[in-house]
Chains A and B, each alone.
Chain A
Amino acid sequence: MFLLGVYAMLAARNLIRKIIGMGIMQSAVMLFFITLSYKWGAKVPIVPHGGDHEAVDPALYANPLPHALMLTAIVVGVSLLGVALVLSVSIYRELRTLEEDEILKKLEDPVS
């Protein structure tokens, strides 16, 4: 799934598709982390409120740490998405296109 996202980033002509590819790639990493936290027949890692306050056996619950980490990673991904879209808007405003080959052609014309 990761490589699928990377391929999309590289091969897609439209900028928005590249951004989607980036999102796929990040989701792949998040899924990887979450699968790390699963155990056979694990329970959801929430202790029932006001219930019996006896000690819980951590081995029975799915590991919640990767979930928390991935929440952070999701937030990071969202900000990246925001910045990427702003940059795309900036490009579109001047060049009126979001296709990569047209952008390259338009940028080449005034040779720096």
Chain B
Amino acid sequence: MNLISPVSVFLIPFMAALFLPMLRLFRKDASKLFSITVLLAGLCISGMLLGAHAQGGTNHYYFGNWAPPAGITWKSDALSAFIAAIVCLITFMGACASPAARPGAAVRAQVPYFMCLLLMTAGLIGIVFTGDTFNLFVFLEVSSIALYALAGSGRDAKGAFAALKYLFLGSLGASLYLLGVGYFYAATGTLNMDDIVMRLQAPDALQSLGFMGVLLVFLGIAIKMGLFPFHGWQPDAYAYGAGPAVTLIAPIVTKVAAYALIRYLFWIVVPAGIDIYFLLLCIKTMGISAVVIGSVMAFKQQNIRRMLAYSSVSHMGLIAMGIGMGTKTALAGALLHMFYHALMKFGLFLAAVEIETRYGIKNVRDLSRIRGAAPLTMILFTVCALSMAGVPPLAGFFSKWYLLYAAALIQDYLSAFVIAASSLLSGLYFFKALETGLFKPAAEQGDKEPLPPTRALPFFTLALGSAMLLLGFWSPFLFKWLSDTALKEIG
């Protein structure tokens, strides 16, 4: 079997997750090191896969050598390789940032935590690469179950309740998605994505069933994606879930769901000839409201992580606007923003969780207490916050710029205005946090002795900070690559 294939990117974390408990027999605290190694291997292979698809082209893997449409097909093309690389990168960094090395951390709890982490990665990779609709549901649920367990892994009931809420809403989303798959199956008799397209293109196809399917699939994915007004689980889950787990989850899961939506809308539904103009308009409207309302809510928040959660809602709105606009330029901008936002959110949550575990600070107004005490963490927070607000030449500016460009190309001035305004709005709440943290005179110190910082933090600050700058300069090439190669098949 060829090593550079989508299946290996999936199998490595999956098999590792299954073998992880056995490691405890050899070395008690090897879980974190093992996971990091495994995820690094996955990252390398997904990077090589991305390189193999640099010029486009697809790679198929037929499970059990059953030819489609009877068997399950996995295909990787430039788009899925791109998303898979992002997933591998973020999970690798998230595993590095997990608290196994912290003094006093319970060793016994590490194994389930890292198992769930690896399973979640495997599930997300499965979603990215699969070419079969039901297979997508399976991996959606695999990753989601690992997610709910990870999010609820903290010691307190608040986190458990937030994770439970996420579970209810997430399973509602997955069930809606499954219903949608059922409608597609009823319309075409097949589960293979390419085959669905072919059968729906036939002149006597039951397109109305297909449209109903799209609607349900969209509703399901919208809940998983955290698209307004279906974002109900996000603020609590991100604010109260276990800290390191949230750092891992928050950046990628919603992005993978958005990718699934893009795959459905533009690779299955549009080629099949189903008219989704109105649906795209709805998506765009939801995106616009998400941007505005998410930003307003973020500004009102006291809890840092809750503010970041609403910020995610509003940026997801930006991505939704890109999807809703439907042109190749807009989609490339949305994908670029997915990538940058994943990195930025990761950095922000890393900094926020760091501050929370070291100093016990949860609220924005308490940030002044650590003025001058945690320079690297604040640098990380500042750089990522500025990038989120869209300050050039950091990366965030460019993804918003391309979305703006796409909106102007189709003369959608409302969207353009909202995108531009989103920078201002993001700036509002981030600058409030930055002002409190950097400029306010230090208030009275708490009497808790701060814990030592995570060992890897300087590395992350350096890596993410320089990534923001470098990606900023590299953006035009990335954008061109995305719109030409990854999205080649879209009109």
Contacts and interface: CB of A to CB of B under 8 A. Distances in A.
Same assembly:
yes
Interface of A: 2, 6, 9, 15, 18, 22, 25-26, 28-29, 32-33, 36, 66, 69, 72-73, 76, 79-80, 83-84, 86-88, 90-91, 93-95, 103, 106-107, 112
Q: Which of A29, A87, A93, A112 has the most CB of B within 10 A?
A: A87
A107 B158 contact: yes
A90 B185 contact: no
In the complex, the 5 A-B pairs of residues with the closest C-beta atoms, listed nearest first: A94-B157, A90-B160, A87-B164, A76-B141, A87-B152
Given A2-B175, A6-B172, A15-B164, A29 B152 contact: no
Contacts, number: 90
Given A22-B172, A88-B164, A112-B239, 8 more contacts: A2-B175, A29-B175, A29-B182, A69-B134, A80-B171, A86-B152, A95-B157, A107-B161
Nearest to B185: A36
B246 to A, nearest CB: 15
B152 A90 contact: yes
A83 B167 contact: yes
Contact of B138 (A76, A80, A83): A76
Interface in B296-339: 302-303
Given A95-B157, A112-B303, A87 B148 contact: yes
Contacts of A91: 157, 160-161, 164
Contacts of B363: 112
Interface residues of B, number: 33
B359 to A, nearest CB: 15
B93 interface: no
A32 B148 contact: no
A103 to B, nearest CB: 6
Interface string B130-167: 00001001100100010011001000111011011001
13 contacts: A15-B164, A26-B175, A28-B175, A29-B175, A29-B178, A29-B182, A33-B185, A69-B134, A73-B137, A80-B167, A84-B167, A91-B164, A94-B160
A9 B179 CA distance: 18
B63 interface: no
A105 to B, nearest CB: 12
B362 interface: yes
A94 B157 CA distance: 6
A83 B145 contact: yes
Contact of A87 (B160, B186, B303): B160
A9 B172 contact: yes
B164 to A, nearest CB: 5
A90 B141 contact: no
A107 B149 CA distance: 20
A91 to B, nearest CB: 5
Nearest to B167: A84
Contact of B168 (A9, A69, A95): A9
A87 B163 contact: yes
A22 B160 contact: no
A95 B145 CA distance: 24
Contact of A112 (B134, B167, B185, B362): B362
B8 to A, nearest CB: 23
A48 to B, nearest CB: 23
Contacts of A69: 134, 191
A32 B149 contact: no
Nearest to A9: B168
B178 A79 contact: no
Nearest to B166: A87
B281 to A, nearest CB: 26
A87 to B, nearest CB: 5
Interface in B178-237: 178-179, 182, 185-186, 191
Contacts of A9: 168, 172
Contact of A22 (B168, B191, B240): B168
Nearest to A23: B171
Q: Which of B157, B174, B363 has the most CB of A within 10 A?
A: B157
